[in-house]
């Protein structure tokens, strides 16, 4: 099983006719994802990659019965694209666009309130259920079906942990890149809830970073629920200097908050197993899993 996506998830691409949209839509089709159309205002009625193109998300959803969208719209128009998909009542919207303005994302969060849409991103590498569905830009080279759910703020560390868990024969149920921006869609807590309720997930890996309080929120949630499934975590940025952004907009420690040490300690106190370093995450999960599990 997987979370957020299924083998029959029907996906449209907003910005499909652009270079990035074309490239990654083609890869998704080759992987087996059910891509059913694209959206590009002014190009409705045409075909691209042998798929129909529509002027609006509402038209695309009505004609294709799509229930998910991947957003490849550049940053200035990305918020409008996400809001359009939310208003069209798509169940899942994944946005890979980087550098979406924070105030634009505040508008998107307002649109999400009370909607039926789950948003992943922006600045996300996407969602991947190995062998079933790929929505985003994740590499599929090392991905294998299995029992480890991965939630990550870091794209590069995601690839590393996927490779490790596959090499150890654990595989992944779903990998979710929640994005590194300070204002975004679903986060650690929502993904933890979904993975803990998923019968196909035996253990969960969290890949955190400096900045924000999402890891602390996850720690509070895990401390209150005390799940039976093992949770392994790695928080990157132990040696990052304070008050200096590292990489993307969300990796910033301010006023003594958001540092890797405090996040790691909060997770450890909540019963999470902490990986000593990036190259030990897979082995740490293997040891954390109960005998006889995947």
Can you tell me the distance from the alpha carbon of 22 to that of 27, in angstroms, rounded to the nearest whole number? 9
The string of pLDDT tens digits covering residues 1-22 is 799 999 999 999 999 999 999 9
Could you tell me which of 29, 13, 12 has the C-alpha nearest to residue 21?
13
What mean pLDDT comes out for the span 210-230?
A: 95
Higher pLDDT, 261 or 83: 83
pLDDT > 90? residue 255: no
pLDDT band at 260 (very low <50, low <70, confident <90, very high): confident
- State residue 247's pLDDT score: 57
pLDDT band at 293 (very low <50, low <70, confident <90, very high): very low
- State residue 226's pLDDT score: 95
Structural domains in the chain, sorted by start = 10-120 (3.40.50.720), 141-288 (3.40.50.261)
Burial of 200 (0-12, 13-18, 19+ CB in 10 A): middle
Burial of 114 (0-12, 13-18, 19+ CB in 10 A): exposed
What mean pLDDT comes out for the span 73-87?
A: 98
Q: Which two tokens stand for residue 136?
A: 């985003």
- State residue 237's pLDDT score: 73
What mean pLDDT comes out for the span 79-102?
A: 97
Q: How high is the mean pLDDT of the chain?
A: 93
Contact (CB, 8 A) for 201 and 229? yes
The string of pLDDT tens digits covering residues 157-167 is 999 999 999 99
- For the beta carbon of residue 17, count every other beta carbon within 10 angstroms: 18
Longest dimension (CA), the chain: 57
- State residue 1's pLDDT score: 75
pLDDT band at 241 (very low <50, low <70, confident <90, very high): low
**C-alpha distance from residue 210 to each of 104, 232, 260, 269 (Å):** 23, 17, 5, 18
Given the structure tokens 């891509």, which residue do they identify? 35
What mean pLDDT comes out for the span 198-223?
A: 96
Can you tell me the distance from the alpha carbon of 167 to that of 165, in angstroms, rounded to the nearest whole number? 5
- State residue 259's pLDDT score: 85
Total number of residues shown for the chain:
294
pLDDT > 90? residue 250: no
The CA radius of gyration of the chain, in Å to the nearest whole number, is 19
Can you tell me the distance from the alpha carbon of 239 to that of 63, in angstroms, rounded to the nearest whole number? 51
Question: What is the DSSP code string of 167-215?
Answer: HTT--EEEEEE--SSSS-SS-HHHHHHHHHT-TT--EEEEEEESSSSHH
- State residue 242's pLDDT score: 61
Can you tell me the distance from the alpha carbon of 273 to that of 176, in angstroms, rounded to the nearest whole number? 20
- State residue 211's pLDDT score: 86
What mean pLDDT comes out for the span 125-147?
A: 97
pLDDT > 70? residue 123: yes
3-class SS at 12? strand
Can you tell me the distance from the alpha carbon of 42 to that of 40, in angstroms, rounded to the nearest whole number? 6
Quick one: what percent of the chain has pLDDT higher than 70? 92
pLDDT > 80? residue 238: no
pTM: 0.93
- State residue 290's pLDDT score: 73
pLDDT > 60? residue 257: no
- State residue 294's pLDDT score: 44
Can you tell me the distance from the alpha carbon of 177 to that of 95, in angstroms, rounded to the nearest whole number? 10
Contact (CB, 8 A) for 201 and 195? yes
Q: Which two tokens stand for residue 18?
A: 């652009």
What mean pLDDT comes out for the span 111-123?
A: 97
Which residues have a catalytic role annotated?
Answer: 248
């Amino acid at each position: 099983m997987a979370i957020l996506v299924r083998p029959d998830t029907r996906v449209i691409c907003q910005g499909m006719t652009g270079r990035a949209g074309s490239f990654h839509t083609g890869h998704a089709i080759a992987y087996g994802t059910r891509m059913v159309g694209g959206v590009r205002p002014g190009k409705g009625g045409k075909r691209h990659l042998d798929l129909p193109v529509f002027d609006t998300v509402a038209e695309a959803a009505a004609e294709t019965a799509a229930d998910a969208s991947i957003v490849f719209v550049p940053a200035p128009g990305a918020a409008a694209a996400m809001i359009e998909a939310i208003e069209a009542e798509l169940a899942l919207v994944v946005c890979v666009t980087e550098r979406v303005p924070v105030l634009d994302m505040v508008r998107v969060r307002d649109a999400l309130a009370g909607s039926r849409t789950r948003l992943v991103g922006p600045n996300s590498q996407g969602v991947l259920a190995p062998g079933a569905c790929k929505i985003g830009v994740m590499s599929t080279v090392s991905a294998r079906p299995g029992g480890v759910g991965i939630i990550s703020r870091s794209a590069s560390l995601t690839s590393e942990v996927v490779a490790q868990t596959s090499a150890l024969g654990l595989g992944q149920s779903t990998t979710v890149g929640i994005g590194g921006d300070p204002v975004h869609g679903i986060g650690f807590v929502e993904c933890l809830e979904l993975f803990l309720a998923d019968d196909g997930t035996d253990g969960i890996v969290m890949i955190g970073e400096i900045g924000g309080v999402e890891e602390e929120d996850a720690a509070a949630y895990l401390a209150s629920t005390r799940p039976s499934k093992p949770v392994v975590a790695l928080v990157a940025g132990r040696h990052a200097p304070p008050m200096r952004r590292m990489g993307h907009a969300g990796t910033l420690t301010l006023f003594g908050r958001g540092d890797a040490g405090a996040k790691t300690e909060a997770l450890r106190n909540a019963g999470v197993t902490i990986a000593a370093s990036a190259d030990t995450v897979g082995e740490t999960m293997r040891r954390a899993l109960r005998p006889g599990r995947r």
